[in-house]
Amino acid sequence: MTSALFSPIELRGLTLPNRVIVAPMCQYSACMGRATDWHVIHLGYLAQSGSGMLIVEASGVEPRGRITHRCLGLYDDASETALNRVIRIVRQWSNTPIAIQLGHAGRKASAHPPQDGGKPLDVDEGAWETIAPSAIPFANDWHRPVEMDRALMDEVVGAHVDAVQRAERIGFEAIEMHGAHGYLMSEFLSPIANQRKDEFGGCIANRIRYPIEVFEAMREAWPQEKPMGVRFNGTDWDDRGMTLEDAIFFGKALKAVGCDFFDISGGGNSLRRPSVGPGYQAPYAAAIKEATGVPTMAVGMIRDPSLAEELISSNKCDMVALARGFLYEPRWTWRAAHELGEAVTYPEQYIRSNPLLWPQAFPGMDEDEVHRHGWVAGAAPHIMVPDKPK
């Protein structure tokens, strides 16, 4: 194969067949933190995309760490059992490696889902107490969080470790710690949200202390052969916030404690937003990859396969992660492989959908002749069939 996008990549003991990642996407479809049948449909569908890895949406490590009442959690036996059921069903029909993003919403918890306005909950709507590095609301109309003392910090570390252990029992192949978008770990990293006067606030060396502590505890609880990465901001898109230099400093510290990959995004610690366009966040991934040498994902409107290929082939990143692009086009990886002339896995039930197997791809043959020649058995160029369902 000649495509960089469709070359394999090794992350510890896990080999991804290509560099296309299905990014974690909140679905706001859980019940009391528990996965539902919607997650079977959503994850099952995306697991048939032929992508290198599928990352399950941000899952709260404790109930107060959920963004909304309808967010996924992994913090008790009921949530573990419900998610285990979903992953077990998906795995019957897909060999795609599956990871999970574990996180805590911090001061941005206790909110309505975006489709319902995204504003903070009122008391009569079931609002709960939120926590943060400093007692500073996200915005004027948001809850004032409780500033975390050492006891609360220890609770949250323990919750992350417990969630890691549950993820291992379920059988996830990788974990991503959520350190971006203005949620709890991101709040510690950003001077917008973190105005502490102790050893966890002030300079960037202090602001990374708690996220590094949490990551180290998670890494120790996770099998050594399995990769663990972090999504974090390359910028807060706000002059008052985290800078690229801060992000590089954090990345180097993560590398030193065994982080296997970075997923570089931006924003979320304030209401400020950048102007967007194809690959608009990729330069931050490129700079952090160059400075650290750690395998890095780029995100941000990477909808054109040729753009994804250029980002990988020019060594600006090692993987590309798509979110809304996959919601709109769940078989994006198939299209990218076809346009780049590369191999990708199709479930045998869908294999005849590959344009290379359409009758017009074989002048003079009708569909029955194409099938009689064995093209649906995996022998056709650029076609791969996964193992039979377990």
Residue positions annotated with a catalytic role: 183
Neighbours of 362 (CB within 10 A): 16
Eight-class DSSP state of 139: S
Residue 201: how many CA atoms within 13 Å on its side-chain side?
16
Contact by Cβ (8 Å): 192, 134: no
> How far is it, in rounded angstroms, from Cα 118 to Cα 317?
32
The alpha carbon dihedral of 302, 308, 310, 311 has a sign of positive
| DSSP 3-state of 16 | strand
Helices 37-46 and 77-91 pack at an angle, to 10 degrees, of 40
What is the DSSP secondary structure assignment for residue 108, as one 8-state letter? Answer: G
Asked if residues 103 and 61 have their Cβ atoms less than 8 Å apart, the reply is: yes
Q: Smallest Cα–Cα separation from 251: which of 237, 268, 234, 265?
A: 234
Phi and psi at 110, nearest 5°, equal 60, 55
* Spatial distance between the Cα atoms of 52 and 15, rounded to a whole number of angstroms: 9
